[in-house]
Amino acid sequence: MQITRASDYAVRVMIYLASLPEGSTVRQSQMSRATEVSGHFLSKVLQQLVRARLIRSQRGSGGGYALAAPAAGVSLLDVVQAMEGPVRLNQCIEEGPSCQRKAWCPAHQVWAEAQAAITNVLGSASMAGLASQAKGMSCQLHDKTVWITGAADGLNAK
Amino acid sequence: MQITRASDYAVRVMIYLASLPEGSTVRQSQMSRATEVSGHFLSKVLQQLVRARLIRSQRGSGGGYALAAPAAGVSLLDVVQAMEGPVRLNQCIEEGPSCQRKAWCPAHQVWAEAQAAITNVLGSASMAGLASQAKGMSCQLHDKTVWITGAADGLNAK
């Protein structure tokens, strides 16, 4: 019952992009430095985020990756689900006849309640809000200013 | 981000045992029928529950498996953690230097909050409470009375 490493990295990518001026595109090499995710794994994460239409890829000079939609409308839950599919704390939570016992199993209701609790927390955290916090935090910790330096290095604001 | 099948089966085992008269021991074959978990997988689940001291194994005639402690004091969270270890929604939630970024990463706090939400829900559901609900539910649904029939078939109340 743990998010995948890919989800964790996708969240880093999304918060980083959300921390930049609107419309910024970032090369993968710069993204790798800012998020501390190595190139090969980062490629896979970026591809998945593009497929989920959370970011867009732009080729050519000045190209890179950019948010596909305003960061305020994208939640932590959206990012996790883009990487892992719908959050289902137990198989029985899926719609349809996923478990014959679910109509009368007392645990089913608890799984559903726990899932609602987690999706509520993750769904309430927007990328814009987290990026705003990240900026404040990295200003306080001058040895961890990767988000801030990223904003001035290797990106193309439009 | 999903509990394992073994955890789901362990919960079935624990609710079933909690639905029986206190001190009852149940043979594995009967447990398999009641929980609808096949023998080989059930063996592994039972072994793990014994190791976690949630149930005890009794050899010989009249032997089988029984709860090791009152069902009111065992939560759904206890059972899941017995099978999977401590719930950690993300690796960064672990104590110690699990992630260098966690001191300033804004997502860390959200993972922690989501984890607290889920452990709160699962920790509040006791095996005794769930077993009580299971009894009521299986009485209402006469074609799903496996928990009830189990109480009269193949167990040894002391």
Contact flag A8-B113 (C-beta cutoff 8 Å): no
pLDDT in tens, B32-77: 998 889 989 999 999 999 999 999 999 888 789 999 999 999 999 9
Does residue A90 sit at the B interface (CB-CB below 8 Å)?
Answer: yes
Partners of residue B101 in chain A, C-beta under 8 Å = 12, 36, 144
Higher pLDDT, A141 or A2: A2
Portion of chain A with pLDDT greater than 90, in percent = 58
- Residue B16: strand, helix, or coil: helix
Contact flag A144-B11 (C-beta cutoff 8 Å): no
Alpha helices for chain B (secondary structure H) = 5-18, 28-35, 39-51, 76-84, 106-123, 127-140, 146-152
- Residues A121-141 have a mean pLDDT of 82
The ipTM of this complex is 0.83
Contact flag B8-A106 (C-beta cutoff 8 Å): no
Q: What does pTM read for this prediction?
A: 0.83
B25 CB-side CA count, 13 A: 13
pLDDT in tens, A89-106: 888 777 766 666 666 678
How many Cβ atoms from other residues are within 10 Å of residue B157's Cβ?
Answer: 11
Position A140 scores a pLDDT of 53
Four-point Cα dihedral B14, B17, B18, B21, nearest 10:
-170
Instruction: Say how far apart CA A156 and CA A96 lie, in whole Å.
Output: 47
In total, chain A counts a number of residues equal to 158
Query: Which token pair is A100?
Result: 């014959």
DSSP label of B36: T
Contact flag A104-B140 (C-beta cutoff 8 Å): yes
The band of A129, judged by pLDDT with boundaries at 50, 70 and 90, is: very high
Position A128 scores a pLDDT of 96
Does residue B37 sit at the A interface (CB-CB below 8 Å)?
Answer: no
Instruction: Say how far apart CA B62 and CA B27 lie, in whole Å.
Output: 8
Sign of the C-alpha dihedral computed for residues B18, B24, B26 and B30 taken in this order: negative
Does residue A54 sit at the B interface (CB-CB below 8 Å)?
Answer: no
Contact flag B91-A134 (C-beta cutoff 8 Å): no
Residue showing tokens 């998010």 = A3
Query: Which token pair is A30?
Result: 């710069």
pLDDT value at A62 more than 90? no
How many Cβ atoms from other residues are within 10 Å of residue B39's Cβ?
Answer: 10
Between B1, B91, B138, which is nearest A1 by CB? B1
pLDDT in tens, B83-142: 999 998 888 777 766 666 666 678 889 999 999 999 999 999 999 999 998 776 655 544
pLDDT in tens, A6-56: 999 999 999 999 999 998 999 999 999 988 899 899 999 999 999 999 999
Query: Which token pair is B67?
Result: 């709860």
